[in-house]
Amino acid sequence: MKKNKITLTENRTAFAEGMRDGIPIGLGYLAVAFSLGVAAKRAGLTAFQGFLASLLNNASAGEYAGFTVIASDAGYLEMALMTLVANARYLLMSCALSQRFAPSTRLIHRLALGYDVTDELFGITIARPGVLNPWYTYGAILIAIPCWSCGTALGVIAGNILPLRAVSALSVALYGMFIAIIIPPAKKNRVVAVFVALSFLASFGAARLPYLAQLSAGTRTILLTVVLSALAAALFPVTPNET
């Protein structure tokens, strides 16, 4: 009984920490999803439909691709394929997260976390030391999802009231969150710092090199992630005690 009480306490603590860390992410999502809502309105969606789309698919690139397909009056199969390609990088993130859970983690938790694997939520979750507690991510999701969904609905309602430049400027906060996620581990580990810098340079170069520049941003992200992570794992392997 004592062990169960400790486990419940740890889960509650992790959940509260996740909600705390999810607040800046939620605020960033609210701004970014607002511009996504403008795209949803142009595709003919109502505020409720936009809210539901974001509630079930928390992915800016995937949703934007879906709204583009809707606007072009394409079929369901095309939408499914387009969304799969746009969101393919989350498969890599899910694999990385699965390696950090305790072997005893129940399947229901693994499936529940797979519902909302985003760049930002992945970043704060994978940065936690030791074995990952799914309740931490649940806390962050509880804040992030409503902000994302409500932001889309507000964007649909606002429509074209605000200038597009003003709406796009709201997304700058999200890049600030990325910096806040990667800087602390980079300061603690030189290997991480080097590969963070390499990822910046590789992403910049890939967007301008022949053939690679013709690929979608999501596809380039997948390729660079696989190459750089494999290189880091081969040159600087991490033992289980270091995770």
- Between CA 163 and CA 241, with CA 119 as vertex, the angle to 5 degrees is 160
> Cα separation of 144 and 121, whole Å?
9
Neighbours of 20 (CB within 10 A): 12
Distances in whole angstroms, Cα of residue 46 to Cα of each of 17, 145, 194, 195: 35, 19, 46, 43
Contact between 133 and 10 (Cβ < 8 Å): yes
Residue 4 exposed, middle or buried by CB count within 10 Å (0-12, 13-18, 19+): exposed
Q: What residue segments make up the domains of the chain, in order of their start?
A: 2-171, 189-243
Question: Identity (one letter) of the amino acid at 47?
Answer: A
> Cα separation of 145 and 158, whole Å?
20
Strand partners, 101: 132
**Which positions of the chain have pLDDT values less than 70?**
1-6, 159-178, 180-181, 218, 238-243
Strand partners, 132: 101
Distances in whole angstroms, Cα of residue 213 to Cα of each of 89, 115, 217: 17, 30, 8
pLDDT at 4: 42
Torsion from C-alpha of 143, 148, 153, 155, nearest 10 degrees:
130
> Cα separation of 111 and 211, whole Å?
36
pLDDT digits (tens, 9 = 90+) for 177-223: 567 667 777 888 888 889 889 988 998 998 888 888 887 776 777 78
Prediction pTM value:
0.69
pLDDT at 6: 46
